[in-house]
Structure 1
Amino acid sequence: MTALQKNAWYNLGVIALTLCTIGVLIPVAGKGALGGFGFLGVLGLGPLFFRKRSGQVVLDERDRSIANLSWNFAFAIFWVVAVMFAALVSASVYGSDGAVPVWIVQSSVFVGMIVIYAMSSIAILVQYGRGAADGQ
């Protein structure tokens, strides 16, 4: 398993932990459960998968190409979701002249981050899945 694949699985695990934490805390803490988004900070440890070891290539050209394609895909999906939410969902829920609550706006930043990291990680795993049996 390459470093990029390990990082992708790690990202998906952190996202799952974050969503489970928020889901469990919402009945107990209400809007205070949104503090569970703080677990997304653990994504910052992902670069540890890419530290250089002697005699090893961490990322080659194929890995970089896969990473670039996955980020492009993730941002494309993010913009579709963000525009759809902003234009359709908010207008239908709050009305065309209604005010969107602040906690919705704050949460949308973290939800956007989740969408980008999840889509990028899934795209990485799918692209490696098209290769050999061991994913390399």
Structure 2
Amino acid sequence: MQTIRRMMDHMYWADDALLAGLRGHSDENGEIGRLFRHLLIAEQVWVTRLEGKSSAHLTLWEESDVASLEPLARDNEQRYKRYIEGLAEADLDRMLDYANQSGAKFRTSIRDILIHVALHGHYHRGQINSALRRQAGIPVALDHILFARLDEAE
């Protein structure tokens, strides 16, 4: 449970750091907003499923400006924290039945879903940083070790 919590804490931190790093940045072709929105909507999709609700109404790929995404990031963080707070270690291996955005049915453990959510964000934050480098030359430092060093500094 501790590792899952740590991965999720890094996810919240990385989403916040990316939001901060993107403030004032001009998204030349909309790529950054589209990728960041996808990342956050995917987080929303999964927490919605974990809460036992349908995610069919959520669209994974749409254009967005980065400034409008902060409320979604905050809401996702609160929902995940609330959900995870109610989990015991044994709950992580419980299987969850859900349908994907196309309606196909799946069954996956809560542990694997939470690991997927954390790793999916890593992938897309890397894509966003690549776009930032192409557009402005200044990616946002989001490595887990940087997050870990914050605890060491306290």
Q: Tell me if both proteins adopt one fold, taking TM over 0.5 as the criterion.
A: no
Query: How would you bin the TM-score normalised by the shorter chain?
Result: 0.3 to 0.5
Higher radius of gyration, 1 or 2: 1
More RCO (CA 8 Å, sep 6+): 1
Q: Which has the higher helix share?
A: 1
